[in-house]
Amino acid sequence: MKGLLFHFVVFLGAALVVVPLSLRLGFGAVLGYLLAGVLIGPSVMRLVSNVDDILHFSELGIVLMMFVIGLEMNVERLWAMRRTIFGYGGMQMLLCAGLLTAIFLLFGSPWRIALTAGLALALSSTAMAVSDLQQGGQMNTRAGEVAFGILLFQDLAAIPLIALLPLLSPLDTGASTADNWLAAGKALAMLAAVVLVGRVALRRGLAIVSRPGAPEIFTAFALLWVIGVALLFHSVHLSSSLGAFLAGVLLADSGYQRQVEADIAPFKGLLLGLFFIAIGMSIDFNVLMHDTRRVLVVVAAVVGIKAAALWLLARRFDVPREQRAYFALLLSQGGEFAFVVMASALAVRVVEPRASAIVTLAVVLSMIATPLLLLPLRRRLPVLSGAAAGPEVVPEAAPKAVPQAVPDATPDVASDAPPQAGAPGLSASGEAARSHAGTSRASTADGTDAPG
């Protein structure tokens, strides 16, 4: 108990010192959380050592963030985004993964490592990109719409990515092609079951727990729903954040979405900040010192190649000229799912530990580089401040206690645009208060094993 309380004090203290300073210097809240994690982690001050456990726990922040976004969606609006999700998302994954794989092959990496690293690094950080879109008021711009659709496709790409890894293994891992297809079938069956329960029984359950007398039971039911669905998705090797998003979409037409958002938003903001702190803590300076050149080459390749490819694709995606550089840099970093891909590849011996460590470190460093690269761009382009892209997220008073959940009117189906939600470092509860009040929001050995 004492150790747990000490960790909470360290996390909150570091955030309260570093994040406001980062905001004052114009670097943004996300970079502040990352730097706070670097300072208190095992490589600098060594105040916290169990990084993996903290990282797994803090992933709840991403889960709740995607859940809140899903609350502003519905099935009809999601269907309207199908071209953006599957068309644009597929093009981004194929182009970026192909270019990165080719670069690693040119630098002498074995083809298995090159392909695995290329696929893993083609993914972008959902937590970082969505947070930046929200903080800058860009969720409702064309760049925000396309970026959000691509991020959803990347979460969907978890099924073929995980299924592909045992097939790449040079050893007999005991996993046959039939086993992989069976696992994919189980995932699809589970997905269908979640949708069925959400469409048939969810509203009835919410109506029962929303009776007056124990409002905390309503919050507990909402948390059980989102965490339960995320856990089910994780158990069949699907993205837990995708499961949380689906849980939100299924609840969006229930009539209780505003009260659920008001209850969940404070948890989301704190846990998402903790996730970025844990990412900063995970930087291994031993790997950085021993393989400095390789790590920096991988970081430069990831950010440079992805940014260039996305900038070229932006025109085809109908992203306005003034938003293309922002769109390209926004998705240029590696993503948190790359950690899962590399860990799975290491388990089936597709990659060696050294290669996995280099790729993982490159992902973290690319996450740190992205806010710095976006900073001068924001200063040169006032449109990215959010003034021209829908309402800006600003701190506001916390919502008043609601003794009983009252069903809201079902929202109208809007255009192909993801919704606005709170960002780390901003007032999530204030946003939820506006939503509850009825304000509509428009919508991861030897030298030849390492990449590079």
- Domains of the chain with bracketed CATH: 2-449 (1.20.1530.20)
- Give residue-wise pLDDT tens across range 403-450: 444 444 444 434 444 444 444 443 333 444 343 434 433 333 444 444
Other C-beta atoms closer than 10 Å to the C-beta of 6 total 12
Three-class secondary structure of residue 445 per DSSP: coil
Read off the pTM.
Answer: 0.71
- Give residue-wise pLDDT tens across range 2-47: 677 888 888 889 889 998 998 888 777 888 888 998 899 888 888 8
With DSSP H G I counted as helix, E B as strand and the rest as coil, what are the percentages for the chain, rounded to 5? Answer: 70, 0, 30
DSSP state of 411: P
Residue scoring higher pLDDT (252 or 440):
252
What's the start-to-end Cα distance of the chain, in Å? 44
What sign does the dihedral 242-247-248-249 (CA atoms) show?
A: positive
Give the whole-angstrom CA distance, residue 257 versus residue 327. 30
- Give residue-wise pLDDT tens across range 148-164: 999 989 887 866 786 67
- The pLDDT of 167-190, averaged and rounded, is 67
The answer to whether residue 86 scores a pLDDT higher than 50 is: yes
Instruction: Yes or no: say if 332 and 301 are a contact pair by the CB < 8 Å rule.
Output: no
CA-based angle 39:43:44, to the nearest 5? 40
What sign does the dihedral 253-256-261-264 (CA atoms) show?
A: negative
- What is the helix (H) or strand (E) element at residue 254, kind and residue range? none
The pLDDT confidence band at residue 88, using thresholds 50, 70 and 90, is very high
**Mean pLDDT score of the chain, rounded to an integer?**
78
The answer to whether residue 401 scores a pLDDT higher than 70 is: no
At residue 449, the pLDDT reads 46
Of the candidates 435, 329, 345, 335, the one whose C-alpha atom is nearest the C-alpha of residue 377 is 329
The answer to whether residue 244 scores a pLDDT higher than 50 is: yes
The answer to whether residue 382 scores a pLDDT higher than 50 is: no
Locate 26 and state its tokens: 């114009």
Of the candidates 211, 206, 201, the one whose C-alpha atom is nearest the C-alpha of residue 257 is 206
- The pLDDT of 165-185, averaged and rounded, is 65
- Sorted by sequence, the CB contacts under 8 Å of residue 307 that are 6+ apart come out as 328, 329, 332
The pLDDT confidence band at residue 299, using thresholds 50, 70 and 90, is very high
The pLDDT confidence band at residue 133, using thresholds 50, 70 and 90, is confident
Q: What are phi and psi of 208, to 5 degrees?
A: -70, -45
Q: Which amino acid is at 403?
A: P
Lowest model confidence (mean pLDDT) among 125-129, 251-255, 295-299, 395-399:
395-399
Lowest model confidence (mean pLDDT) among 189-193, 309-313, 347-351, 377-381:
377-381
Q: Is 402 exposed, middle or buried (0-12, 13-18, 19+ CB in 10 A)?
A: middle
What sign does the dihedral 17-22-25-28 (CA atoms) show?
A: negative
Residue scoring higher pLDDT (433 or 371):
371
Give the whole-angstrom CA distance, residue 277 versus residue 58. 9
Give the percent of the chain with pLDDT over 90.
22
Give the whole-angstrom CA distance, residue 368 versus residue 364. 7
CA distances from 231 to 132, 228, 240, 334 (A): 26, 5, 6, 23
